[in-house]
Structure 1
C-alpha cells in the first residue's frame, strides 16, 4: 500500500498550493485512493476519496474543500451532487463524460487506468468533469492522451516500470508530460512526489468476459 506526500503548486507561476498526504491500494473491486490536503500554512484544506472499479471507472468519488462537498460516480456518464457550505442546498449534475478529473494526482492515475494505452498507439480522446477549487465548481473538458514510452528502471526492490504520457488540452492545444509508476505519479505539472514510504502497487489485467 503506497503511502506518501505530494506537494502541489501552480503549474504556471509555481505558487505553492499545499500538500496532499495520501495512501492508495488495489482492492477486490479495483483501486482506492484516500488523501488529506493541507494549505501552504499547514492547515487542513480538504480531502479526496476515490474508488475505481477494475476497468478504471469511478465507483465513488468524494471531494471536500472549503466546506463544499461533491459526491459522484459513473452513472449515465458521470453524475454528482454538490453541496454548499450551509448544507441547505444541493445541486445535481450529469454529463456524458468518461470520468472525473481535478488537481489531485489520483485523477491522473484514474485516467491512465481507464484508457489502458499501449506505447506508440494513436492518442485517445477523453471527456472529463473537473471540480475547480476552492468551491468545487464543475467544468467539462476534453483531453487527448498518448503513451509515449514505457521503460523499466532498476531499484532495490526490483524493476520499476514507468509510463510517460503526453496529455493535450483540446480547447487550448497546451501539452504536458505525466510520468506514472503503478499507482503513483512521479512527475506532472503542478505535482511533485516528496515522500513515498513503500513502492507503487501494480495493477492486474482484468480477464475479458467470455460472453462479451
Structure 2
C-alpha cells in the first residue's frame, strides 16, 4: 500500500471511530435503563447537554456495583471495578458515591462516610485497598430514614453539589437507575450481559 492510500485509510478509520463512538453513546444512554424506560435521556437531550455542560462527575452506588460482599462477610472489588476507577482517575474525571448507610452513623456526610470507610476496611480483601481518596467529599448518605434510596433526595443533593457538571450514575439495580435518570443523570445499569461492565470511560469523556 502506498503512502497516499495509507493516509486515506487512516482518515477513514478515524472518521469511522468517531461515528461508532457517537452511535455507541446514543445506544448506551438510551438503553441505560432496561428497555429504554425510566426516563433515560435520548440522544437529543444528551447532545444539548454536551453543549451546555462540561466536567462530568460519575456517581456510583457502592454495594454490588463497585464492591461485592461475600458469604463470609468479606468485601472486595467487583470484577473490573478497580481498573475502571483507575482509568477515571488517570483522566481526571471526578467520582462520587450515592449510597445508603444508617443515618445514625453520623450527623454529617463526612461523619457517615468515615464510618462507612471503617466498616468496609474492617473486612476488606484483595491486593489493593478501596480507592476512598478518589471520592473526595463526594460521598452522599441519608441524613434520615426518609432520605434513603430510592427516594430521590441523595441524587438531588449530589446534583446541587456538582454545580453545572454533567452527572452519570451507575448502579446494579433497575430502580435506582430509573430514579437517577428521572432527575437528570445519565444512567447506566452495571453488570448486564452483552454490555460493558461499566459505562466506557471514552463515552464519559464525550459528555465533557
Indicate the structure (1 or 2) with the bigger Cα radius of gyration: 2
Query: What TM-score does the superposition give when structure 2 sets the normalisation length?
Result: 0.28
Greater percentage in strand: 1
Greater percentage in helix: 2
Query: What TM-score does the superposition give when structure 1 sets the normalisation length?
Result: 0.28
